[in-house]
A and B are shown apart, each in its own frame.
Chain A
Amino acid sequence: MYKILRRKELNPTVTLLDIEAPLIAKKAEPGQFIILRVDDEGERIPLTIADFDREAGWVRIIFQIVGGTTEKLNHIMEGEYIHDFVGPLGVPTHVEGLKKVAVVGGGVGCAIAFPIAKKLHEMGAEVHSVVGFRNKDLVILEGDFNAVSDKMMLMTDDGSHGQKGLVTNALKELIEAGNKYDEVIVIGPLIMMKFVCALTKEYGIKTTVSMNPIMIDGTGMCGGCRLTVGGETKFACVDGPDFDGHLVDFDEAMERGSMYKPFERHAHDEACNLFKKEVQ
């Protein structure tokens, strides 16, 4: 059992949890993920590590409520426990030797982009952060990104906060202004990563994406998380989750991600109904 040390709602659908897991905190690196189960009957879901404190022994996750499991997870309060928490899994984001990097985050993907930006900043690299959200109410980690970025651009689809537009507009502006990036690291919805990659390909800038496909064990056992990268099948859990964005078959990844959509929607409604009943 793993204790929730801190819980904070970042916006109506995104919650932050600091979970007591000293062994994982000791080894975790940006870009790696954990798998958790909320209770003894629960499914295993992967979530990328948003931050960690090796001394205090906690690992931070930030999740969006999308299905039954994340709905249940959102009802676990500070001081309570989740049943299983395993990691750190996957290969850490490769940051060595990078001097100037654009870190692009979209929506809850910013939670994963942040520890990478932080690590790059601590290494002394010049960090330009481009973060995008649908609107003002969904903005997360603005202060955190500001603290570790040499330049920061916050975009909203409707212009209700920061600048109006997409992250691709901002990134293009930065590139056009003469910024020469060693690498662009982008984490967010698949469709966003696809378009960022299309843009950076035009300019020939190396681009790393973090994939978050459907997964069960997270150790290479099931192959459910497989992707096509440069014409080869790769397992996101052990070969990734980071890949060369210019080689990833995003269309296939989007298709595969939709396999259980109807089931997820149903499971989420069921979980919600259950909690509604408890409240009554």
Chain B
Amino acid sequence: MPNMSLKKNEMPSQDPNVRNKNFKEVALGYTKEQAMDEAARCLNCKNKPCVTGCPVQIDIPAFVQEVAAGNFEAAYEIISRSSALPAVCGRVCPQESQCEGKCVRGIKGEPVAIGRLERFVADYHNENCKTKPVKPESNGKKVAIIGSGPSGLTCAGDLAKKGYDVTIFEALHLAGGVLVYGIPEFRLPKAIVQKEIDGLKDLGVKVETNMVIGKVLSIDELIEEYGFEAVFIGSGAGLPRFMNIPGENLKGVYSANEFLTRVNLMKAYKDDSCTPIMKAKRVAVVGGGNVAMDAARSAKRLGAEEVYIVYRRSKDELPARAEEVEHAEEEGIIFKLLTNPVEILANEEKFVGGIRCLEMELGEPDASGRRRPVEKAGSEFDIPVDCVIMSIGTSPNPLIKSTTKGLETQKWGGIIVDEATGLTSREGVYAGGDAVTGAATVILAMGAGKTAAASIDEYLSNK
């Protein structure tokens, strides 16, 4: 008999007032008993609506049934047929709008906690499985992957499993892309990312760090001089946007990318780190996405007394996942909604002294379907802060485009691809993830990496 409880098993978590002072993982994960109890809530429906909500089409009911029966390794086996990074996705996927959003249990009550179960299965496997994946027999065909974020790792994994000789080129000194420089430790422990990358290395994938493709080597050189027969571009959307308001270049104004890179990649949160970071007392984060929540919660953990999210629309329009917003609220982040910054104010030492804002109200829906924020006349007010973090989005880095002959891009920089295959305007060159879509989610990037891997396999098999 299925477990007919209307509520999900709650996720054991660190207490908000404890966790907002440390960088350890917030959610602690289900126990075996909780996982099996939760899995028993799945009705194992025939038409599997959850699978249609998953960008990589994991056979969700099948793995959940294995969890319910206590066969955790079998569950892992099912997930890993479709997903290269289950421990990552179980943590950062927006399940509420994907698999769980389609779960029939969600019609009356809460959906099955598919994400939490995926995480449980991946963690169980990582803790208990000591056998290393077997390196498949090589087919001798070389594929280059540009960027080691979620799309690149997925594409690399799928191709390596098919016997391709895969090399990942990463610009930074550490592989993982946004999983290591962007998403904080308390949401995605870096040891988990490292484990996934080590797993790829066991499959024979080579990872070349410190390789800025477009500078040290071009894509054309990789093909013509180094013998790569296909290339996948997964270089992400790393170029930060600013608001172009007065005071944005004052000391104490960061892009979210800079702030999070210092904290995550460069470990500024550790006491003995040699990376400088401002330990501000009052911080304003401008923006309402997941990155803004990450920045705000990181600032709080670095010791800030007051951290504001400054967002120009209302709570309903916040682009961040509901769970992230909830976590931020629990940890004491203050939401200044319907508020738009117009100027960053300086103190006497030319550091940030405050942020001048206008109150907004919602008007008619705009092109995005969200109601357009309109300034309220005469509503100007100042918030005293000593640090401002701009988290209003990123665009694709132009480096690859400007150094690759015949690679077509959108006006805003996104690489143009055929959606069904990931093929760019260049033969043998594929792309996916944020480099194509602009800033989106980990799982969408993984889906694109998967699509491209299948296309590359087909292309090289017929070549």
Contacts and interface: CB of A to CB of B under 8 A. Distances in A.
Interface of A: 23-24, 27, 37, 41-44, 68-69, 83-89, 216-224, 226-228, 233, 238, 252, 255-256, 258-260, 263-264, 267
A267 B275 CA distance: 9
Contacts of B447: none
B274 A223 contact: no
B322 interface: no
Interface in B112-140: none
A84 B208 CA distance: 11
Contacts of B350: 255
Contact of B249 (A37, A68, A226): A226
Contacts of B461: none
Given A44-B173, A88-B216, A259-B276, 14 more contacts: A41-B273, A84-B209, A87-B216, A217-B172, A219-B212, A219-B399, A221-B181, A221-B240, A221-B397, A222-B261, A223-B257, A227-B249, A233-B244, A258-B251
Interface of B: 171-173, 181, 209-212, 215-217, 238-240, 242, 244, 248-252, 254-255, 257-258, 261-262, 266-267, 273-276, 278, 350, 397-399
A85 B275 contact: no
Given A44-B266, A220-B397, A264-B276, A86 B255 contact: no
B258 A37 contact: no
Given A222-B255, A222-B261, A238-B399, A256 B276 contact: no
B254 A42 contact: no
Chain B contact residues, majority secondary structure: loop
Contact of A228 (B215, B249, B399): B249
25 contacts: A43-B274, A43-B275, A84-B210, A86-B171, A86-B216, A87-B212, A87-B215, A216-B261, A217-B171, A219-B397, A220-B398, A221-B181, A221-B238, A222-B261, A223-B240, A224-B255, A233-B248, A252-B249, A255-B250, A255-B350, A259-B251, A259-B276, A259-B278, A267-B274, A267-B276
B257 A23 contact: no
B242 A223 contact: yes
Contacts of A69: 274
Nearest to A251: B350
Contacts of A37: 173
B216 A223 contact: no
Nearest to A263: B276
Contact of A233 (B249, B273, B274, B397): B249
Contacts of A217: 171-172, 238, 261
Contacts of A263: 276
Nearest to A264: B276
Nearest to A253: B249
A68 B250 CA distance: 25
A139 to B, nearest CB: 31
B47 to A, nearest CB: 43
B212 A224 contact: no
Contacts of A83: 173
Contacts of B239: 220-221
Nearest to A215: B258
A229 to B, nearest CB: 11
B210 A89 contact: no
A263 B251 CA distance: 14
Nearest to A238: B399
Contacts of A42: 274
Contacts of A84: 173, 209-210
Nearest to B235: A219
Contacts of B248: 233
Given A86-B173, A216-B258, A226-B249, A68 B274 contact: yes
A260 B258 contact: no
Contacts of B215: 27, 87-89
A85 B257 CA distance: 22
Contacts of B211: 86
Contact of B212 (A89, A252, A259): A89
Which one of B210, B249, B267, B399 has the highest number of Cβ atoms from chain A below 10 Å of its Cβ?
B210
A122 B305 CA distance: 59
B170 to A, nearest CB: 10
